[in-house]
């Protein structure tokens, strides 16, 4: 098979790495890719908002399967674009329809969906631009902390949590009236604060059958001890020590099954990954959010634990035979740490040479923001590299990744130093 992966982050490198080892693979392409994906296949330079360029690429390269990494093309309807095109409509594309992607593309849509299907989540109300007064009145009926969410996609920045009613009121005004997050905040979901511990679960479904992939926990804040600004993710680990069998059974029964049944009953086509952000409150799961794709850096710890031929799994999902797959999961712990550019998630510089990438026996290095220029690998983004290690336990896995991290160098390199420490008490 000829496979095209859309995207350019650590997630896409992890997909490319796994798929490059498949016995079913003929040629692998990644668009636009990065310096790491270029080691697994051929990078194709195109923009993910240019659906016509993607179409030309799929046709001219005789692609048999497309995997969509990030959410934007899905929310913008790439799957529907394929379905409506005579030459593309029979080429399987792993990702949900535009309607299915609304589970991530609109917080209000996802909250309404959860309410319709009695899926446990925080209580909420949605307010539009001309309902600022009502929104402020609603805030005053809640207890702090206050949770405000821009309805639309806001590059992971659209959630504001504040303990102060005046600050929350001001933020709501900024979001609704001054469109702090552009059109994404022309509607705002205000919801109850869920006090618990977070983790994520990942499902691959064809809309009928499903596989629950290994769960993971990511670290969102830039600073040690979960301080400072939110990022795309500074590291991740799988399995999650506090997600025991009883808890995961509740996740399946109360969340995964009703979600897939709900999509089916509402005739929303969904072939692809569903990422469910969860809060564990005293052993009970609540949905914080849905994403219509895999997580990054969660993919960098989830995929290394899946021993199956990933391309076979995805082909079966696309052909309606997902029920034939039994997942073979590595019982080891996978831990990844992100090396980021100094200044991230605010302003940072790019173009620094990265050294120490050869001879890394203990870990797998997934490239995120990197580029190959004149045979030199250089930094090309905020999150630069994800370093994943497998070991018999969480402490050893993080230790290995930290050792590898220390041997890789670039100007301004930063990583969190405390990953995994919060979980030791659950071991
Ligand atoms: P989201 O973009 O929906 O993932 O939200 C970003 C982060 O905000 C989540 O990962 C949680 O840490 C936090 N968060 C979102 N909603 C809630 C909530 N209702 N209660 C507590 N924390 C939340
Ligand atoms: N790491 C969080 C995400 O991919 O959305």
What is the tens place of the pLDDT at every residue in 4-58?
A: 999 999 999 999 999 999 999 999 999 999 999 999 999 999 999 999 999 999 9
> Probe ligand 1: pick from 110, 149, 289, 298, max atoms within 8 Å of CB?
289
Asked if pLDDT for residue 359 goes beyond 80, the answer is no
Q: Report which protein residue has its CA nearest ligand 1's atom 19.
A: 193
Q: How many Å lie between the centroid of ligand 1 and the Cα of residue 185?
A: 16
Predicted local confidence at residue 361, as pLDDT: 77
For a mutational test of ligand 2's pocket, the pick from 74, 156, 276, 368, i.e. the residue with the most ligand atoms closer than 8 A to its C-beta, is 156
Closest-approaching ligand to the CA atom of 298: 2
Mean pLDDT of 209-230: 96
Task: Take atom 6 of ligand 1 and give the residue whose Cα is closest.
Answer: 159
Ligand 2 atom showing the smallest separation from residue 293 Cα? 4
**Does 210 have pLDDT greater than 90?**
yes
Are 217 and 235 in contact, with CB atoms under 8 Å apart? no
What's residue 427's pLDDT?
Answer: 87
Please provide residue 67's backbone torsions phi and psi, each rounded to the nearest 5 degrees: -115, 125
Contact residues of ligand 1, CB 6 A cut-off: 122, 147, 159, 191, 193-194, 198, 220, 277, 288-289
- Distance between CA atoms of residues 303 and 218, nearest Å: 14
pLDDT computed for residue 171 by the predictor: 93
Question: Mutation test of ligand 2: which of 275, 303, 383 has the most ligand atoms closer than 8 Å to its C-beta?
Answer: 275
Q: Which of 295, 302, 338 to mutate to test the pocket of ligand 2 (most atoms within 8 A of CB)?
A: 295
Residue nearest atom 2 in ligand 2 by C-alpha distance = 295
Q: In what order do the strands lie in the sheet with 364-367?
A: 217-218, 235-238, 333-340, 383-391, 364-367
- Ligand 2 — pocket residues by CB below 6 A? 218, 232-233, 291, 295-296, 298
- pLDDT tens string 29-40: 999 999 999 999
The token pair at 111 is 């909250």
Nearest CA to 160 among 172, 143, 173? 172
Give the β-pairing of 159-162 and 187-191. Answer: unpaired
Q: Indicate the top mutation candidate among 161, 280, 286 to test ligand 1's pocket, ranked by most ligand atoms within 8 A of CB.
A: 161
Q: Range with the lowest mean pLDDT among 66-70, 138-142, 360-364?
A: 360-364
Q: Please determine, for residue 346, whether its predicted confidence score (pLDDT) is greater than 90.
A: yes
H or E stretch covering 134: helix 132-141
Q: What is the pLDDT of residue 157?
A: 80
Domains and CATH numbers, the chain: 2-97 (3.40.50.20), 124-191 (3.30.1490.20)
Closest CA to 10 of 28, 35, 41: 35
267 C-beta neighbours (distance < 10 Å), count: 8
Question: Ligand 2 centroid vs 87 CA: distance in angstroms?
Answer: 33
The number of helices, as runs of H, and strands, as runs of E, in the chain is 13, 22
pLDDT, mean of residues 243-250: 96
Q: Which ligand is nearest to the CA of 234?
A: 2
Question: What pLDDT score was predicted for residue 11?
Answer: 98
Q: What's the burial of 52, exposed, middle or buried (CB within 10 Å: 0-12/13-18/19+)?
A: exposed
Cα dihedral sign, 343-150-288-166: positive
Mean pLDDT for the chain overall? 96
Q: What is the pLDDT of residue 112?
A: 97
What's the whole-number mean pLDDT along residues 185-207? 95
Residue tagged 């409506």 (tokens): 84
Residue located via tokens 């899946």: 306
3-state helix, strand, coil in the chain (%, to 5): 35, 30, 40
110 C-alpha vs ligand 1 centroid, how far in Å?
A: 14
Could you write out the DSSP letters of every residue in 366-407?
EESSEEEETTEEEE-SSEEEEEEEEESSHHHHHHHHHHHHHH
Q: In angstroms, what is the span from residue 23 Cα to ligand 1's centroid? A: 40
Identify which ligand lies nearest to the alpha carbon of 235: 2
pLDDT in tens, 125-138: 999 999 999 999 99
Q: From the CA of 233, which ligand is nearest? A: 2
How many whole angstroms separate alpha carbon 207 and alpha carbon 99? 13
Which residue did the predictor score with more confidence, 80 or 229?
80
Q: What's the whole-number mean pLDDT along residues 172-188?
A: 92
Tell me: pLDDT of 156 over 80: no
pLDDT digits (tens, 9 = 90+) for 277-309: 999 999 999 999 999 999 999 999 999 999 999
Kindly report the number of other CB atoms within 10 A of residue 170's CB atom.
13
Ligand nearest to the Cα of 124, by number: 1
CA of 159 to the centre of ligand 1 (A): 7
Q: Which residue has the least CA distance to atom 7 on ligand 1?
A: 159
Which pLDDT belongs to residue 200? 97
Share of the chain above pLDDT 90, in %: 96
Q: From atom 12 of ligand 1, which residue's Cα is the shortest distance away?
A: 198
Confidence class for position 220, pLDDT limits 50, 70, 90: very high
């Amino acid at each position: 098979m000829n496979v095209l992966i859309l995207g350019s982050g650590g997630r896409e490198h992890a997909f490319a790495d796994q798929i490059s080892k498949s016995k079913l693979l003929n040629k692998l392409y990644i668009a636009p890719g990065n310096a790491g994906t270029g080691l697994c296949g051929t990078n194709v330079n195109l923009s993910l908002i240019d659906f016509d360029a993607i179409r030309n690429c799929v046709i001219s390269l005789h692609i048999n399967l497309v995997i969509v990494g990030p959410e934007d093309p899905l929310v913008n309807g790439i799957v529907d674009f394929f379905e409506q095109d005579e030459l593309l409509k029979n080429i399987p594309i792993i990702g949900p329809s535009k309607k299915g992607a609304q589970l991530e593309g609109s917080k209000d849509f996802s909250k309404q969906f959860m309410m319709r299907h009695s899926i446990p989540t925080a209580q909420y109300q949605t307010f539009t631009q001309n309902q600022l007064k009502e929104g402020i009145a609603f805030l005053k009926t809640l207890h702090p902390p206050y949770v405000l969410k821009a309805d639309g996609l806001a590059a992971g920045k659209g959630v504001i949590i504040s303990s102060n009613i005046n600050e929350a009121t001001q933020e709501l005004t900024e979001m609704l009236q001054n469109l702090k997050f552009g059109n994404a905040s022309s509607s705002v979901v205000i919801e109850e604060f869920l006090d618990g511990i977070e983790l994520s679960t990942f499902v691959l479904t064809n809309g009928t059958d499903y596989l629950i992939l290994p769960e993971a926990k990511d670290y969102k804040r830039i600073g040690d001890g979960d301080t400072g600004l939110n990022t795309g993710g500074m590291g991740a680990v799988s399995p999650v020590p506090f997600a025991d069998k009883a808890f995961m059974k509740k996740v399946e029964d109360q969340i995964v099954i009703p979600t897939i049944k709900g999509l089916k009953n509402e005739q929303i086509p969904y072939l692809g990954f569903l990422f469910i952000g969860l809060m564990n409150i005293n052993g009970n799961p609540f949905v914080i959010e849905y994403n219509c794709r895999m997580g990054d850096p969660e993919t960098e710890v989830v995929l290394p634990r899946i021993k199956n031929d990933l391309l076979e799994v995805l082909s079966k999902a696309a052909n309606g035979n997902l029920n034939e797959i039994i997942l073979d999961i590595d019982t080891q712990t996978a831990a990844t740490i992100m090396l980021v550019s100094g200044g991230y998630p605010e302003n940072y510089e790019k173009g620094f040479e990265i050294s120490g990438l050869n001879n890394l026996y203990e870990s797998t290095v997934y490239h995120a923001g990197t580029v190959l220029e004149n045979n030199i690998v250089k930094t090309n983004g905020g999150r630069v590299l994800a370093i994943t290690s497998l070991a018999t336990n969480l402490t050893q896995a993080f230790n290995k990744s930290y050792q590898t991290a220390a041997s890789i160098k670039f100007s301004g390199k930063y990583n969190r130093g405390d990953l995994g420490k919060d979980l030791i008490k659950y071991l």
